[in-house]
Amino acid sequence: MELLWEAAGWGGAVAILSAYLAVSMGWLKAGKRFQSANLIGACAFIVNGVFHGAWPSVVTNVAWFLISGVALFRMRAVHEPAVGEVQPTQLPGVPDATGQLPIVGVSRAV
């Protein structure tokens, strides 16, 4: 049974570190998959921490779990593009100019 708790701890480490690596390298956006990996990883760390009596780790991972859970709850209604659907790119610091702009013409006096 001890092997199960150790596997949970290592599985949690792999889930959280893989998600962090993928977001940091730009392979994955910090969206639902990232938060789900953090949520699962935190659960596994909680199980492992309780088994070992590592209460600071348990408290930290409960907070990690809650943060991921709230983030997932807030993302539940956000539309994610389907596979192959083109998503417009919005660069940070650049205003969104996709709305309708008035056409200003030059009038010439006759």
Q: What is the pLDDT of residue 79?
A: 61
Across 22-57, b (16+ Cβ under 10 Å) vs e yields bbeeeebeeeeebbbbbbbbbbbbbbbbebeeeeeb
Residues of the chain with pLDDT under 50: none
User: Given the structure tokens 């993302």, which residue do they identify?
Assistant: 75
Q: What is the pLDDT of residue 5?
A: 86
Q: What is the pLDDT of residue 58?
A: 95
Task: Measure Cα distances from 88 to 13, 32, 81, 96 in Å.
Answer: 34, 19, 11, 11
Q: What is the pLDDT of residue 20?
A: 93
Q: Where are the domains of the chain?
A: 2-78
DSSP characters over the chain: -HHHHHHHHHHHHHHHHHHHHHHHTTSS-SSHHHHHHHHHHHHHHHHHHHHHT-HHHHHHHHHHHHHHHHHHHHHTTSPPPPTT-------TTS----S-----------
Q: What is the pLDDT of residue 27?
A: 92
